[in-house]
Chain A
Amino acid sequence: MTLQDGVRLASLIGASGFVLGLHLMNSPATARRGNQLSALGMLVAVVAVLVEVGHGGTMSAARWLVLISGALVGGAAGLYSARTVAMTSMPQLVSLFNAVGGGAAALIAVADYQHEPSVSAGTATATVLDVLIGCVTFSGSLIATAKLQGYLSQPVSFPGSRASSAVLTLVVAAAGIDVIAGADNAWILLIAVVAAVGLGILMVLPIGGADMPVVISLLNAFTGTAVAMAGFVLQNATLTIAGALVGASGGILTKLMADAMNRSVLSIIAGGFGTGASGIAPVAAGGGNVKSIAIDDAALQLAYASKVIIVPGYGLAAAQAQHEVRELAELLEQRGVEVSYAIHPVAGRMPGHMNVLLAEANVPYDQLREMEEINPEFDRTDVALVIGANDVTNPAARRAGNAVSGMPILDVDHARSVVVIKRSMASGYAGIDNELYSDPKTSMLFADAKKGLASLVAATKAV
């Protein structure tokens, strides 16, 4: 077996590790092993390529130095942020990793072109796509990170932003066609880089906070595609396979998130929540009577229920009240109450975010239930406890003609009674009143999620 064969075999092992690792993610019981298997595949692939270039005889001391020092700096920074990041900030970190992954893929295309621009039309197309997608992902993900971190007021739009995007698209297209046609000039590619970076910024700036789960998923799919394109440029199958896997994953999640909000990906990119349904009269129930409830009464209701469903939204995480909610759930379970959590797909800032936040607070994963699975159970539920969730519980979504129409919701109003912990009557991202709040069986517990839950725990202990 030649060295070349050995390297190819190692790449095959690496790619298999990725696929099997993703496969094991189909259950929380095996997911951690899956991730470790994937990491092992990565290690094999990286060691193999190091051995290959080491034997290739082209690695000078300077090249090794540049490669190793860069990898050490990046690796240390990556490890530090992975160890220290708060689970609520996970979307920012994932977005940042999207940025660096896409950026690295684009840099590969640029450096490869700068080294030797005379390539076949197929490779040149891959180079252009790599630069375009990689740069859009890089700048777009950085903007998304800034928004999630709260550095940027969201959404940002300015007059002429759409025209600027159109101009930049034309510039990228013209430069790209020039490169594919065989232009032997690194400056043309540089123009494409600058225009694509600008395009990424303009793409994410006008997008609102509620649409973040879709944007992160889409940028994740972009990064995967950029890496696959880098595989075409370098004619390396490992990169192509891994990139395609990530592209598929990001694509599926983008679709799921957009469906969960009943929005098309295109309308989200076009910007602004509810822009498609603007100018619609306020929902009829807007002025309905709202009933508030005292802590002790709410505690009694919960303690003497036989089935309680907790509906957490991002407001719960924002108030850092995950531990209090778990404490309350455990207390109720000790009294023999059946407790589960109903998780809407967009409860959080990225796909599945709420599950991680509750898992961190030691909520067992078999209590975390998906929307389709738990919706039929609301009919048999004594109390639905809604904490920090709003639009995803609005029954108005079942009717046509308002900002949440058609959005899949949790059937909270089917429960025998509903307790909503909320600071005020302020509306959610959709900007409309929640009809659930004026439902006769709903009681509002006006409090901050953390303080409200802490007093509920105390009151329940006293029951």
Chain B
Amino acid sequence: MSTGFIGDLTIFVLALLVGFEVISKVPATLHTPLMSGANSIHGVVLVGVVILASFVNGPLGYLLTFIAAAFAAANVVGGYAVTDRMLQMFRKRPVPAKPAEQEAGR
């Protein structure tokens, strides 16, 4: 095995550990946006598709690249857009409850 592979493996394991550390602090309230946000991050596969496009040949290669590009772009664009849409819905209490109405109903 080349040193390149070991180097990649090192990066992979360290990133995995960083991921566990950072993500275990996300509250349950945000688990859906977290998953959707992580979803957009794996849209980084688009970078791989660009690299792929620089060396493929022939109709089959082009077809595979076209599909991969469409998949990856849908993943990355849709993922970030929908996560943003969700997160802007998470609001604080707009104004503190009116104290004048506190005595009612007690």
B38 touches A53 (CB 8 A): no
Q: Which of A70, A85, A244 has the most CB of B within 10 A?
A: A70
Q: Write the chain A residue with the least CB distance to B103.
A: A336
B50 touches A49 (CB 8 A): yes
Stretch at the interface among A21-29, A265-273, A383-391, A434-442: A21-29
Residue of A75, A112, A236 touching B77 (CB-CB under 8 A): A75
A231 on interface, CB distance cutoff 8 Å: yes
A367: chain B residues at CB < 8 Å are: 93
Q: How far is the CA of A248 from the CA of B9 in the complex (A)?
A: 15
Q: How far is the CA of A93 from the CA of B15 in the complex (A)?
A: 26
Interface SS majority for chain A: helix
A22: chain B residues at CB < 8 Å are: 19, 22-23, 26, 34, 37-38, 41
Whether A248 touches B16, Cβ cut-off 8 Å, given contacts A230-B45, A306-B106, A336-B106, is: yes
Q: How far is the CA of A73 from the CA of B71 in the complex (A)?
A: 9
The digit string for B1-42, where 1 denotes a CB below 8 A from any CB of A, is: 110110011011101111110111111111111111111111
A111 touches B52 (CB 8 A): yes
B83: chain A residues at CB < 8 Å are: 35
B81: chain A residues at CB < 8 Å are: 78-79, 82-83
Report B38-91 residues with CB < 8 Å from chain A CB.
38-57, 60-62, 64-91
Report A12-46 residues with CB < 8 Å from chain B CB.
14-15, 18-19, 21-23, 25-29, 31-32, 34-36, 38-39, 42, 45-46
A176 on interface, CB distance cutoff 8 Å: no
Residue of A232, A235, A337, A366 touching B93 (CB-CB under 8 A): A366
Q: Write the chain B residue with the least CB distance to A53.
A: B54
Report A233-269 residues with CB < 8 Å from chain B CB.
234-253, 256
Residue of A25, A68, A72 touching B26 (CB-CB under 8 A): A25
B82: chain A residues at CB < 8 Å are: 81-82, 85, 90, 93
B11 touches A42 (CB 8 A): no
A31: chain B residues at CB < 8 Å are: 30, 33, 87, 90
B57 touches A115 (CB 8 A): yes
B33 touches A35 (CB 8 A): yes
Q: Write the chain A residue with the least CB distance to B62.
A: A66
CB of A371 to closest CB in B, whole Å: 8
B85: chain A residues at CB < 8 Å are: 82-83
Q: Write the chain B residue with the least CB distance to A105.
A: B45
CB of B22 to closest CB in A, whole Å: 5
A370 on interface, CB distance cutoff 8 Å: yes
Q: How far is the CA of A334 from the CA of B96 in the complex (A)?
A: 11
- Residues of B at the A interface (CB closer than 8 Å) are 1-2, 4-5, 8-9, 11-13, 15-20, 22-57, 60-62, 64-94, 97-98, 101-106
| A–B pairs, 10, beta carbons within 8 Å | A26-B26, A101-B43, A108-B45, A108-B48, A217-B35, A239-B44, A241-B11, A334-B97, A350-B31, A352-B32
User: Which 10 interchain pairs have the tightest Cβ spacing?
Assistant: A248-B19, A78-B78, A70-B69, A352-B31, A74-B70, A122-B5, A74-B73, A335-B105, A244-B15, A78-B74
